[in-house]
Homo-oligomer: A and B are copies of this chain.
C-alpha cells in the first residue's frame, strides 16, 4: 500500500538508502526537541547524521518535507488513541474511569511527541493543509468517538439539543491538546502536574455527560 520509498529524483531506495533516510529523520526529531523549529538547519541535521547536506536533499525536498514524514509516522501511532474512547460506557463509575483514561492517554501521548506536535500545531494554525490533515488524523478519531458519546447523552435528555455535539467534542479535544502542549507551562505557574489530571477528567466528564462524575 505504501508503495516504495523513493528519492526526490525518483530512484527507489534500497537497504542502505532507507537506513540513511531513517537516520536523518531520527536526527531531525532529536534536533527539533532541543532547538527552536525556526533554527533547525539542513546542514546541522546532516552533520549530526554523519552525512552531507546533499544527501538530505536526496530524500527530502526540504526541512518541512522531512517534518511531515516524521509527523505521518506519529499519526499512525496516534490512531490508537481511539481505543481510549470507543466502546466505553459513560454511566456512573465507569464514566469517571473513561474520562480519566482518556486524559491520561492524551497527556502521555503528547509528552512523548511534544516536539513534532508543536510544529504540526503551528503548521495547522498557519493554514497549511498537509499539517492540518495530520492533526485531524490524530484528533479525529477521538473527536468522533466523543461526538457519539455526546449524542447519546443528548438522546437521554441530559444535554440541550440545541448544542452541537461536534463542537463540544472538538472543544474538549482542543482543550486536552492545548493543556498537553503547555504541560510544563502550568507547573511553572504553580499548578502541579498531579492537579491537572483530575481537573481535566472532571471537565471532560462534565462536558460529555452534563453531570459531575460520582465521587
Q: Could you tell me which A residues sit within 8 Å of B by CB distance? A: 36-38, 64, 114, 118, 121-128, 132, 135-136, 160, 162-164, 166-168, 170-172, 174-175, 177-179, 181-182, 184-186, 188-192, 195-196, 198-200, 202-203, 206-207, 210, 212, 215
Contact = CB atoms under 8 A, between A and B. Distances in A.
B203 A168 contact: yes
B195 A166 contact: yes
Q: How many copies does the complex hold?
A: 2
A189 B139 CA distance: 12
A123 B118 CA distance: 10
Contact of A122 (B122, B172, B195, B196): B122
Nearest to A167: B199
Given A162-B198, A167-B196, A185 B128 contact: no
A189 B166 contact: yes
A34 to B, nearest CB: 10
Nearest to A186: B170
A185 B124 contact: yes
A197 B184 CA distance: 28
- The 9 closest A-B CB pairs, nearest first, are A175-B175, A178-B178, A164-B195, A167-B199, A174-B178, A167-B195, A166-B191, A168-B199, A118-B125
